[in-house]
Amino acid sequence: MKRKIWLLLFFLFIQIGKAQSDLDKDQQLVYTYLYSKEYDQAKDLLENKFIKNNDLNKQIIGYIYMADYYNVKNDEAKKSEALEKAKNIARKTKSSIDNAYVKFGYARYYEKLNKNDLFIKYINESIKEFSKHSNEHFVLTQLYFLRFNFKSKNPLEKDIRKDAILANQHAIKSKNNILINFTYSNLGYFYKQKYNQTNKIEYIDSAKYNYQQSLVYAEKIQNPIAKKRSTIVYYLNYGSLVTTLNHQNTFDETMKNYHTILKLTENDPKFNEITAFTYNNIGSAYENKGEIDSAEKYYLKSYTLAKDNKDVFPQVKTIILGNIARIYETKNDLSKALEYERKAKQLIIESNQEQFDNNTKSLEIFYNTEKKNQQIKQLEEKNNIYSKQKFLYIGIILLAIAGIFFLSYMLYYKLKSNKQKTDLLQAERHEAELNLQLEKEEKARIKAEQELLELQQEQLNKQALAASLQLKQKNSFLNDLKEKVKEKATINLERILKDERLMDDDFNKIQNIIKDVHPSFFNKLIDVSKNKLTNQDLKYAAYLYLNMDNMQIANVMKVETKTVRMAKYRLKQKIGLEKNIDLQSFIQSLFA
Residue-wise pLDDT tens digits, 80-103: 999 999 999 999 999 999 999 999
Mean pLDDT, residues 262-275 taken together: 80
Domain with CATH 1.10.10.10 in the chain: 520-592
Q: Which of 234, 111, 230 is closest to 179 using CA atoms?
A: 230
**What is the C-alpha separation between 322 and 280, in angstroms, rounded?**
11
Q: Quote the percentage of the chain above a pLDDT of 70.
A: 80
Most confident of 175-179, 233-237, 286-290, 366-370: 175-179
Q: What are phi and psi of 470, to 5 degrees?
A: -70, -40
The conformation of residue 223, written as its DSSP 8-state character, comes to S
Q: Which option is the CATH number for 520-592: 2.40.50.140, 2.30.40.10, 3.40.50.800, 1.10.10.10?
A: 1.10.10.10
- Of residues 274 and 174, the one with the higher pLDDT is 174
**Inter-residue contact 58 to 49 (CB < 8 Å):** yes
Residue 272 confidence (pLDDT)? 81
Residue 13 confidence (pLDDT) above 50: no
Q: Tell me where in the chain the CATH 1.25.40.10 domain(s) lie.
A: 14-175
Mean pLDDT of 299-321: 85
In this prediction, residue 117 has a pLDDT band, given cuts at 50, 70 and 90, of very high
167-171, 295-299, 491-495: least confidently modelled range: 491-495
Please check the confidence at residue 480 and state whether its pLDDT lies above 90.
no
pLDDT of residue 2: 38
pLDDT over threshold 90, residue 356: no
- The pLDDT-based confidence of 153 (bands split at 50, 70, 90) is confident
In this prediction, residues 568-577 reach a mean pLDDT of: 90
If pLDDT is split at 50, 70 and 90, which confidence band does 275 have?
confident
CA–CA distance, 196 with 190 (Å, rounded to integer): 10
Interhelix angle 550-557/535-545, rounded to 10 degrees, is 130
pLDDT of residue 1: 42
DSSP annotation string for 240-294: HHHHHH--TTHHHHHHHHHHHHHHHHTT-GGGHHHHHHHHHHHHHHHHHHT-HHH
Q: Provide the pLDDT confidence category of residue 178 given band limits of 50, 70 and 90.
A: very high
| Greater pLDDT, 93 or 313 | 93
Task: Please check the confidence at residue 454 and state whether its pLDDT lies above 90.
Answer: no
Q: Within a 10 A sphere around the Cβ of 62, how many other Cβ atoms?
A: 27
Query: CATH top-level class for 14-175?
Result: mainly alpha
For the residues 235-241, what does the mean pLDDT come to? 85
What is the Cα–Cα distance from 520 to 528, expressed in whole angstroms?
12
Return the top range by mean pLDDT from 33-42, 332-341, 471-480, 531-540.
33-42
Per-residue b or e along 356-382, where b marks 16 or more CB atoms closer than 10 Å to that residue's CB: eeeeeebeebbeebeeeeeeeeeeeee
Q: What is the distance of C-alpha 359 from the center of its chain?
A: 12
Single-letter amino acid, residue 260: T
* C-alpha distances in Å from residue 88, one per residue of 21, 63, 82, 373, 551: 21, 11, 10, 10, 84
First to last CA, the chain: 98
> Is a pLDDT exceeding 80 seen at residue 479?
no
pLDDT grade, residue 543 (50/70/90)? confident
Whole-structure pTM value: 0.57
User: What's the whole-number mean pLDDT along residues 174-190?
Assistant: 95
